[in-house]
Amino acid sequence: MHPTVCKLLGTDHGPLKSLMREARSVAGVKRVLVASGVRMDLARRDPEYLQELAAHHVGGHLKVAPEHTDPEVLRLMKKPSADDYVEFDKAFQAASRRVGKKQYTVPYFIASHPGSGIEEMIDLAVFLKQNGYKPDQVQDFIPSPFDIAACMYHTGLDPMTREPVKITKGLRDRRMQRALLQFFKPENYFEVRRALEQAGRHELIGSGCDCLIPERPPREALDRKRSEATRAFTESTSGDHIRGGPATGRAGRGGPATGRAGGGSASRKQRRPRKTVGYRPNRPGQSRPPRPAD
C-alpha cells in the first residue's frame, strides 16, 4: 500500500459490491449512503465499484482525506500522493455525470502535522488555488495516544528511521498554517500575509492569477483586526486585577479625579477617614478628662 500499491495486491471490490447490492435489495431500505472512508488509490482502480458508488450510495458529497500535498509529509503519514486525489476526483465526477447526478468530493486537509512547516503549507495553499478547491472544514493536528504521529510530535524523530522531523508547536505558527488552508477567507488575510512574508513568498501577494491574497487588505479583514484590538484593550484594562476599578472622570494626570454618577459627584479614589486622637464623647470605657483647675 505504501509508498505505492503493490501489483500483486488484489484491488477488486467484489465482496463490497455484493454487500452494497444486497443492502439495496432489502425490503424497506430506501438508500444506503457512504459518506466517507473510501480508499481513493484503491477505489479508482475499480471503475465498476466507483460507478455503483456514484449511482446509488452518495448523497451529493463524498468526504475524502488527502490530508496534504507535500511528499515528505505524506511519507510520514503513509498516505498516497496528491495525484491520487486529483485522479480520483476526476473519475468520481465523471461517474456521477454518467448517471445524471451532480456530485462532489469534500477534501479534508490538516495543518501542523509533523513534517509540515510554513513552506509546506504555502505549497498546499497554491495547490488549492490552482485546482479551485476551497475547503470549508479544516483540522489542526492534535497528538493522540498510541499514534506514530504523536511519537514524532513529542520526540521530534521519525520512529522508523530515527531521523529528525520538523515539528510545529508554537501557537503563532499553528495559526498561520491553519489560515493558509483557508487563504480565501478575508478574516485570515493578515495571518496569511505574515506567513508569506516570513517565507519570502512575496510573489503570492498581489492581483495576479497565482496570488493567494491581494496587496491591500479587504474591508472584512480590517474590521476583524479592529474588533480584536478593541477586545484585547478592553480585557487588559478591566477586571478584578485592576486597582481602583473603572474611573468615572479625570481632570488630568496628578490632578483631582472628579466625575458624576447618579446625579452627584464622586471621587475615584476615596480618602481614608482620619483617626481621631484624644477624647471622644460617649465612647465606652473612656472617662471624661478632669477639668483644669482655676
Q: Do 167 and 156 touch, CB atoms closer than 8 A?
A: yes
Give a yes or no: residue 236 inside a domain.
no
pLDDT at 283 over 80: no
Give a yes or no: residue 172 inside a domain.
yes
Give a yes or no: residue 258 inside a domain.
no
Q: Are residues 96 and 147 in the same domain?
A: no
Average pLDDT over residues 44-58: 94
**pLDDT of amino acid 71:** 94
Give a yes or no: residue 97 inside a domain.
yes
Give a yes or no: residue 30 inside a domain.
yes
pLDDT band at 11 (very low <50, low <70, confident <90, very high): confident
**Full residue range of the structural domain in which residue 71 is found:** 1-111
For the stretch 160-209, pLDDT in tens is 999 999 999 999 999 999 999 999 999 999 999 999 999 999 999 999 99
For the stretch 231-269, pLDDT in tens is 888 887 765 555 444 545 444 444 444 444 444 444 555
Q: Do 108 and 137 touch, CB atoms closer than 8 A?
A: yes
Q: Are residues 1 and 98 in the same domain?
A: yes
Cell of 97: 455525470
Give a yes or no: residue 188 inside a domain.
yes
Percent of the chain's residues with pLDDT above 70: 81
Q: Exposed, middle or buried: residue 189 (CB in 10 Å: 0-12, 13-18, 19+)?
A: buried
Q: How many domains does the chain have?
A: 2
Q: Do 109 and 68 touch, CB atoms closer than 8 A?
A: yes
Single out the residue in 90, 111, 132 at which a domain terminates: 111
Residue 180: partners with Cβ closer than 8 Å, 6 or more residues away: 111, 118, 121, 122, 124, 125, 191, 192, 195
Single out the residue in 111, 126, 160 at which a domain terminates: 111
Give a yes or no: residue 294 inside a domain.
no
Single out the residue in 71, 93, 111 at which a domain terminates: 111
**Closest C-alpha to 106, from 67, 55, 47, 65:** 65
